[in-house]
Amino acid sequence: MQIASPIPDRHLADAARLWSAAFAPPLGAGQPRLRACHGIAAIGASGRLGGVAGIRDHRGGILADPPWLARALYRAAPPTADLVIDGIVVDDRRQGIGRALLDRAAQVARHADRPGLRAEVEMRNTAAMAFYAATGFVEIGRGFFGWPWSGPVAILHRPV
Protein backbone atom coordinates (compact mmCIF):
# COMPACT_ATOMS: atom_id res chain seq x y z
CA MET A 1 0.00 0.00 0.00
CA GLN A 2 1.23 3.46 -0.90
CA ILE A 3 0.24 6.45 1.22
CA ALA A 4 0.25 9.70 -0.74
CA SER A 5 -0.23 13.30 0.32
CA PRO A 6 -1.41 15.36 -1.41
CA ILE A 7 -3.94 13.12 -3.11
CA PRO A 8 -2.64 12.33 -6.63
CA ASP A 9 -4.71 13.88 -9.42
CA ARG A 10 -5.59 10.48 -10.90
CA HIS A 11 -7.23 9.46 -7.59
CA LEU A 12 -8.96 12.73 -6.75
CA ALA A 13 -12.37 11.85 -8.26
CA ASP A 14 -12.43 8.47 -6.49
CA ALA A 15 -11.33 10.13 -3.24
CA ALA A 16 -14.18 12.64 -3.58
CA ARG A 17 -16.72 9.85 -4.10
CA LEU A 18 -15.43 7.86 -1.12
CA TRP A 19 -15.09 10.84 1.22
CA SER A 20 -18.40 12.44 0.26
CA ALA A 21 -20.32 9.17 0.72
CA ALA A 22 -19.25 9.20 4.36
CA PHE A 23 -19.02 12.89 5.25
CA ALA A 24 -20.48 15.36 2.76
CA PRO A 25 -23.63 17.10 3.95
CA PRO A 26 -26.72 16.49 1.83
CA LEU A 27 -26.95 20.19 1.08
CA GLY A 28 -25.52 20.63 -2.38
CA ALA A 29 -25.94 19.21 -5.83
CA GLY A 30 -23.45 16.69 -7.12
CA GLN A 31 -20.17 15.44 -5.84
CA PRO A 32 -18.05 17.89 -3.85
CA ARG A 33 -14.66 19.06 -5.03
CA LEU A 34 -11.80 18.14 -2.72
CA ARG A 35 -8.58 20.02 -2.08
CA ALA A 36 -5.82 17.51 -2.87
CA CYS A 37 -3.37 19.37 -0.63
CA HIS A 38 -5.64 18.74 2.37
CA GLY A 39 -5.98 15.03 1.74
CA ILE A 40 -4.10 11.77 2.17
CA ALA A 41 -4.77 8.76 -0.06
CA ALA A 42 -4.14 5.07 0.52
CA ILE A 43 -3.47 3.36 -2.79
CA GLY A 44 -3.36 -0.43 -3.03
CA ALA A 45 -0.87 -2.52 -4.98
CA SER A 46 -3.41 -2.77 -7.81
CA GLY A 47 -3.46 1.04 -8.08
CA ARG A 48 -6.99 1.25 -6.62
CA LEU A 49 -7.82 3.85 -3.98
CA GLY A 50 -8.41 2.08 -0.66
CA GLY A 51 -8.98 5.01 1.65
CA VAL A 52 -8.77 8.73 2.14
CA ALA A 53 -8.24 11.08 5.06
CA GLY A 54 -8.86 14.78 5.12
CA ILE A 55 -6.81 17.22 7.17
CA ARG A 56 -7.85 20.67 8.32
CA ASP A 57 -5.77 23.59 9.50
CA HIS A 58 -6.07 27.38 9.63
CA ARG A 59 -6.38 27.41 5.81
CA GLY A 60 -9.38 25.08 5.75
CA GLY A 61 -10.11 21.43 5.17
CA ILE A 62 -10.45 18.88 2.43
CA LEU A 63 -13.76 20.22 1.11
CA ALA A 64 -12.94 22.89 -1.48
CA ASP A 65 -16.30 24.53 -2.09
CA PRO A 66 -18.79 23.87 0.70
CA PRO A 67 -22.31 24.83 -0.35
CA TRP A 68 -23.43 28.14 1.18
CA LEU A 69 -26.01 26.35 3.32
CA ALA A 70 -23.30 24.05 4.70
CA ARG A 71 -21.15 27.06 5.55
CA ALA A 72 -24.11 28.64 7.33
CA LEU A 73 -25.07 25.52 9.32
CA TYR A 74 -21.66 24.10 10.28
CA ARG A 75 -20.67 24.74 13.90
CA ALA A 76 -16.91 24.86 14.32
CA ALA A 77 -15.18 23.38 17.36
CA PRO A 78 -12.88 25.66 19.36
CA PRO A 79 -9.67 26.66 17.57
CA THR A 80 -6.59 24.47 18.01
CA ALA A 81 -2.89 24.41 17.20
CA ASP A 82 -3.29 20.72 16.31
CA LEU A 83 -3.76 19.39 12.81
CA VAL A 84 -7.40 18.30 12.62
CA ILE A 85 -8.45 15.05 10.98
CA ASP A 86 -11.17 16.07 8.54
CA GLY A 87 -12.62 12.57 8.22
CA ILE A 88 -11.12 9.16 7.47
CA VAL A 89 -12.90 6.59 5.32
CA VAL A 90 -11.61 3.27 4.01
CA ASP A 91 -13.08 0.65 1.69
CA ASP A 92 -12.01 -2.38 3.74
CA ARG A 93 -11.94 -2.02 7.52
CA ARG A 94 -9.44 -3.75 9.77
CA GLN A 95 -6.70 -3.86 7.13
CA GLY A 96 -4.45 -1.18 8.67
CA ILE A 97 -5.42 1.47 6.13
CA GLY A 98 -6.90 3.91 8.65
CA ARG A 99 -3.86 3.57 10.92
CA ALA A 100 -1.54 4.18 7.95
CA LEU A 101 -3.51 7.31 7.01
CA LEU A 102 -3.23 8.58 10.60
CA ASP A 103 0.51 7.87 10.63
CA ARG A 104 0.93 10.04 7.53
CA ALA A 105 -1.23 12.75 9.12
CA ALA A 106 1.10 12.67 12.13
CA GLN A 107 4.09 13.14 9.79
CA VAL A 108 2.35 16.11 8.17
CA ALA A 109 1.62 17.58 11.63
CA ARG A 110 5.25 17.19 12.76
CA HIS A 111 6.50 18.76 9.54
CA ALA A 112 4.16 21.74 10.12
CA ASP A 113 5.27 22.06 13.78
CA ARG A 114 1.82 21.11 15.06
CA PRO A 115 1.75 19.67 18.62
CA GLY A 116 -0.71 16.91 17.81
CA LEU A 117 -3.62 15.52 15.88
CA ARG A 118 -7.21 16.29 16.76
CA ALA A 119 -10.35 14.46 15.74
CA GLU A 120 -13.92 15.63 16.28
CA VAL A 121 -16.11 12.53 16.35
CA GLU A 122 -19.83 12.05 16.78
CA MET A 123 -20.13 10.18 20.06
CA ARG A 124 -22.76 7.86 18.62
CA ASN A 125 -20.19 6.68 16.05
CA THR A 126 -18.89 3.91 18.29
CA ALA A 127 -16.70 2.35 15.57
CA ALA A 128 -14.86 5.65 15.03
CA MET A 129 -14.57 6.27 18.77
CA ALA A 130 -13.02 2.79 19.22
CA PHE A 131 -10.67 3.32 16.25
CA TYR A 132 -9.34 6.60 17.60
CA ALA A 133 -8.94 5.16 21.11
CA ALA A 134 -7.00 2.20 19.68
CA THR A 135 -4.68 4.60 17.83
CA GLY A 136 -3.75 6.64 20.90
CA PHE A 137 -6.33 9.42 20.97
CA VAL A 138 -7.83 10.58 24.27
CA GLU A 139 -10.92 12.67 24.83
CA ILE A 140 -10.21 16.27 25.81
CA GLY A 141 -13.68 17.78 25.46
CA ARG A 142 -17.24 17.47 24.26
CA GLY A 143 -19.73 19.74 22.61
CA PHE A 144 -22.27 20.21 19.86
CA PHE A 145 -20.03 20.85 16.86
CA GLY A 146 -20.27 19.99 13.19
CA TRP A 147 -23.70 19.64 11.62
CA PRO A 148 -26.81 20.43 13.66
CA TRP A 149 -27.92 16.79 13.32
CA SER A 150 -24.57 15.40 14.54
CA GLY A 151 -25.46 15.21 18.21
CA PRO A 152 -22.76 15.35 20.86
CA VAL A 153 -19.22 15.36 19.53
CA ALA A 154 -16.08 14.24 21.35
CA ILE A 155 -12.90 16.21 20.78
CA LEU A 156 -10.02 13.75 20.71
CA HIS A 157 -6.30 14.47 20.80
CA ARG A 158 -3.08 12.57 20.15
CA PRO A 159 0.35 14.17 20.51
CA VAL A 160 2.80 13.84 17.66
Domains of the chain, residue spans: 2-159
What's the mean pLDDT when you consider all of the chain? 91
What pLDDT band is residue 12 in, cutting at 50, 70 and 90?
very high
Q: Is the pLDDT of residue 33 over 60?
A: yes
pTM check: above 0.85: yes
DSSP secondary structure string, 5-58? SSPPHHHHHHHHHHHHHHH--TTSSSPPPB-GGGEEEEE-TTS-EEEEEEEEBT
Q: What SS3 class is residue 159?
A: strand
Across-strand partners of 43? 2, 49
- Least confident segment among 52-56, 78-82, 130-134, 148-152: 148-152
Contact 39, 53 (CB under 8 A): yes
Structure confidence at residue 73 (pLDDT):
79
60-97: per-residue pLDDT in tens?
Answer: 899 887 777 777 777 888 999 999 999 999 988 888 99
Q: Tell me if the domain spanning 2-159 has CATH number 3.20.20.140.
A: no
Contact 77, 143 (CB under 8 A): yes
Q: Is the pLDDT of residue 29 over 60?
A: no
CA distance 40 to 38: 7
- Of the CA atoms within 13 Å of residue 112, those in its CB half-sphere come to 20
DSSP 8-state symbol, 135: T
Q: Identify residue 90 by its one-letter amino acid code.
A: V
CB-count burial class (<10 Å; 0-12, 13-18, 19+) for 10:
exposed
What pLDDT band is residue 1 in, cutting at 50, 70 and 90?
very high
